[in-house]
Amino acid sequence: MNDSSNVMSDLFDLPSFLGEFSLAAAARGFSRHLLLETEDGPILAWERLGEAPPIYLSAGIHGDEPAGPLAALRLMEEGAFPTDRHCIVCPALNPGGLVLQTRANRRGADLNRDYNILSCQETVAHTRWLSSRPVPSLFISLHEDWETAGFYFYEINLGEDNVRRATDLLSAVSAHFPAELGPGIDGHLLRGPGWIFHRAEPDLPDSWPEAIWMAKRGCSLSFTFETPSKAALKDRVAAHVDGSLALLDRLPKAFTETDSMDGVGFMPLCGS
């Protein structure tokens, strides 16, 4: 098995990545779906049918954040996606940005703010295809942050509160990064270190990220991971992998049980 953290440096080689991902996904029984052919390369979804509702993971929507696609590759190589569940992976949603190493696409648009207006061909193709599939019960989105030194995540939760799940996630990532401390990150108050519990509403009415669009579709639980871009690439990849595994490995109970908050050290929710 290849060490996916060595497929590229921070200089992303999209054709090589897509070749590696295609081999790994095919070996794990995933089928390839072409969502859009762009001048920089295809936007692909990989799908393996199984018990519904699906589990969905995305990465590479910001082209200057290569750790997410590499983590998706390693998760695929290692067989991390449960074989009895319907699984969907979109590992490189912004081919132009990944080629140019820019947050935006080739035309200067931030795709992760375009999921309401849908003014870009990439988001139109992506949402059209996802809308043809059942609504996922779990969405994991892999990102990076240039302004932080620790790990943090956004949670959007339309169901039961589960603090233990959050603590297990942060514990899994702690070997690579500490939880980012508050009192706030990127204009959001923290529920606890490294944890932004976000309402299923956009910060700006017209600038929806993918996670808000997923929540509006009815996805009951989503996590957006943020690793520090200034850290070593291998550590960022490893943090994304271990954080994802912390959710995927406990699927049989993580989304059906509510754990007590007694003694955990996070703030209880006070309304939505």
What distance in Å separates the CA atoms of residue 212 and residue 227, rounded to the nearest whole number?
20
Q: What is the DSSP letter of 166?
A: H
Identify the pLDDT of residue 9: 55
Could you tell me the CA-to-CA distances from 90 to 73, 150, 174 in Å, in that order? 10, 25, 26
**What residue ranges define each of the domains in the chain, with the CATH number in brackets?**
4-254 (3.40.630.10)
Residue 158's Cα: distance from chain center in Å?
A: 17
3-state DSSP assignment of residue 163: helix
The β-bridge partners of 89 are 46, 57
Q: Per the structure block, which two tokens stand in for 114?
A: 């375009």
Tokens coding 151? 């790990």
User: How open is the CA angle 75-84-124, to the nearest 5 degrees?
Assistant: 65
Q: What residues of the chain score a pLDDT lower than 50? A: 1-8, 253-265, 268-272
What pLDDT, in 10s, does the model give residues 38-71? 999 999 999 999 998 999 999 999 999 999 999 9
Query: Cβ distance 4 to 73 under 8 Å?
Result: yes
User: How does 95-106 read in b/e, with b if 16+ C-beta sit within 10 Å?
Assistant: bbbbbbebbbbb
Helices assigned H by DSSP within 188-265: 210-217, 233-248, 251-254
Give the sheet arrangement for strand 138-145, strand by strand.
31-38, 41-48, 85-90, 51-59, 138-145, 221-228, 152-157, 195-197
- Rounded to whole angstroms, the Cα distance separating 44 from 165 reads 30
DSSP 8-state assignment for residue 268:
P
Backbone angles phi, psi at 96, to 5 degrees: -65, -45
pLDDT of residue 252: 55
For residue 71, how many other CB atoms are within 10 A of its CB? 29
